[in-house]
Amino acid sequence: MSKISIIGAGQVGAATAVRLVDMELVDEVVLFDVVDDMPQGKALDIAQSTPVVQKQVAIRGTNAYKDIADSDIVVVTAGFPRKPGMDRLDLLAKNIEINKSVSANIVTYAPRTIVLYVANPLDLMTYVCHKLTKFPAQRVFGMAGVLDTTRFRTFVAMETGYTIRDVQAQVMGGHGDAMVPLVRYCSVAGIPLTELLPKAKIDAIVDRTQKGGGEIVKLLKTGSAYYAPGAAVAQMCQAIVRDEKRILPVCAQLDGEYGYKGPFVGVPVVLGRKGVEKVLQLQLDAQEKALLAKSVSSLQEQLDEIEKGKMYQ
Ligand code: TXD
């Protein structure tokens, strides 16, 4: 594999590009945006870091979709932030409009690519992109769970004092509040988290993780997180490019797994060169099943709203 394009050269798009270049994962990274000259400026700036970091990667900024041709992966971070006076549906409609133009151009210029969606509302946007591109679900999926788990892992390391290297975690469900933490599957060097921390501490970490995006928004005052999201996207790209078969939480389409058919939801998958190569089915307990059901039903309500309103046709 040799080329990754990023649609949306904003904070997450640029942070992802820097990671990809530093990892020397592919030969070429393309940064696309609708804002004139901005992606060219960011790409040139990143290119000028490569002699210092000694990474041989061509990075190019563009306002022309034709430049995404032959991409192996297209990362979509193009989104519209909430403005005063906009309600949830206005924002959804605006982001679906962006999704329509992005998806149409992916179909035209990079019909064989894998699409890794990042822009919010993530689970809904990934679903819409899959409908619009008509690509197999194996090639259209979203990033959210890797970010949620890395936040969780960071908080566990902070709380226990043990190295981040040994902390493992899994989450399922929707992004943010709809996240389903799987504490039973969290461990430090194989030791279940429940043996290392009291329940109250674990509950506090879960709560902080669910509100992790908001905590950063509040601190930054303008915009939202981008370093950890960029790292999370880059890790997923690495799993694909190097065919690592990593087990990562990915927003992927369910086809009967966990009893659901159709929606895109965070689940552990095997990620490799073909994209989502398998959805893993964990043996959830009754409480985890109930949380997942709640998460999926709230997503399904929003998908029904999108379908009934013919919002992407
Ligand atoms: O875990 C996750 N999935 C997330 C998602 C983690 C972090 C950020 N998350 C979402 O990603 C966030 O809520 C937004 O929906 C996106 C992008 O976040 P970012 O912080 O990078 O937003 P910016 O800086 O506003 O960048 C968005 C860019 C900006 O440069 C616009 O000019 C561009 O998107 N944009 C477009 N690019 C291409 N095509 C179109 N139509 C377009 N419209 C806007």
**Within 6 Å (CB) of ligand 1, which residues are found?**
7-13, 33-35, 77-79, 81, 98, 101-102, 118-120, 122, 143-144, 147, 175, 223-226, 229
313 is a domain residue? no
Whether residues 162 and 127 share a domain: the answer is no
Q: How far is CA 212 from CA 175, 207, 262, 266, 284, in A?
A: 11, 8, 28, 17, 24
Asked if the model's pLDDT at residue 18 lies above 90, the reply is yes
Could you identify the atom of ligand 1 that is nearest to the CA of residue 80? 44
Asked if the model's pLDDT at residue 24 lies above 90, the reply is yes
In this structure, are residues 62 and 278 in contact, taking their beta carbons and an 8 Å threshold? no
Calculate how far, in angstroms, residue 118's C-alpha sits from the geometric centre of ligand 1: 8
Q: Residue 256's pLDDT is what?
A: 97
Select from 143, 166, 197 the last residue of a domain: 143
The token pair that represents 68 in the structure block = 């995404």
Start-to-end C-alpha separation, the chain = 33
Looking up tokens 């000259």 gives: 37
Calculate how far, in angstroms, residue 76's C-alpha sits from the geometric centre of ligand 1: 8
- Crossing angle of helices 199-210/212-220, nearest 10°? 60
Q: Residue 1's pLDDT is what?
A: 64
Ligand 1: which of 77, 124, 233 to mutate, judged by most atoms within 8 Å of the beta carbon? 77
Asked if the model's pLDDT at residue 186 lies above 80, the reply is yes
Select from 121, 143, 165 the last residue of a domain: 143
The more confidently predicted of residues 201 and 89 is 201
Whether residues 158 and 288 share a domain: the answer is yes
**For the residues 86-102, what does the mean pLDDT come to?**
91
Whether residues 110 and 200 share a domain: the answer is no
Asked if the model's pLDDT at residue 116 lies above 90, the reply is yes
Query: What's the mean pLDDT when you consider all of the chain?
Result: 96
40 is a domain residue? yes
Q: Which domain, by its residues, includes 77? A: 3-143
Whether residues 136 and 156 share a domain: the answer is no
* pLDDT tens figures, 223-237: 899 999 999 999 999
**Residue 159 CB contacts under 8 Å (≥ 6 apart), including other chains:** 197, 201, 205
Ligand 1: which of 16, 75, 118 to mutate, judged by most atoms within 8 Å of the beta carbon? 118
Model pTM?
Answer: 0.98
Q: Band the pLDDT of 81: cuts 50, 70, 90.
A: confident
Whether residues 157 and 91 share a domain: the answer is no
Q: Band the pLDDT of 178: cuts 50, 70, 90.
A: confident
Q: Band the pLDDT of 29: cuts 50, 70, 90.
A: very high
Q: Does 130 participate in catalysis according to the annotation?
A: no
What is the percentage of the chain residues whose pLDDT exceeds 90? 92
